[in-house]
Amino acid sequence: MCNTLLIGEPVAVSSNSGLTSKLPSSIPTETMSERYHQQQMEKIKQLSDLKMQLQMAATEAAAAKAEAEKARQQLDNFLKQRESDVEEKSTDDSSRRNK
């Protein structure tokens, strides 16, 4: 078989010239493709699991925030009531002294 170079000189090329790159015979292309596909599926599953964990953490954080807000509101109410009770007692004490 004879091929021509760009400059026009004929060159003999044999079919076993080794110019074509070949995959190692122990790893067929189909197996590499399957392995790649499997790796991609594993990555997708890992990302899906992480997304689920993140959603659960966000839900728990929202519940904790709501609980903390409720506790803060109860504390505010308690302190306001206590302040009001102290003011009433002080008013009662001063009115008794004035009598």
Residue 84 in this model has a pLDDT that exceeds 70: yes
Q: How many domains does the chain have?
A: 1
**Alpha carbon distance 71, 87 (integer Å):** 24
**Do residues 32 and 39 touch, judged by C-beta distance below 8 A?**
no
Residue 29 in this model has a pLDDT that exceeds 90: no
Residue 59 domain-assigned (yes or no): yes
Q: Answer positive or negative: Cα dihedral of 40, 41, 46, 48.
A: positive
**Alpha carbon distance 95, 88 (integer Å):** 10
Confidence of residue 49 (pLDDT cuts 50, 70, 90): very high
pTM tops 0.75, yes or no: no
Residue 3 domain-assigned (yes or no): no
Residue 67 structural domain: 33-93
Residue 27 domain-assigned (yes or no): no
Residue 17 domain-assigned (yes or no): no
Name the DSSP class of 19.
Answer: -
Residue 15 domain-assigned (yes or no): no
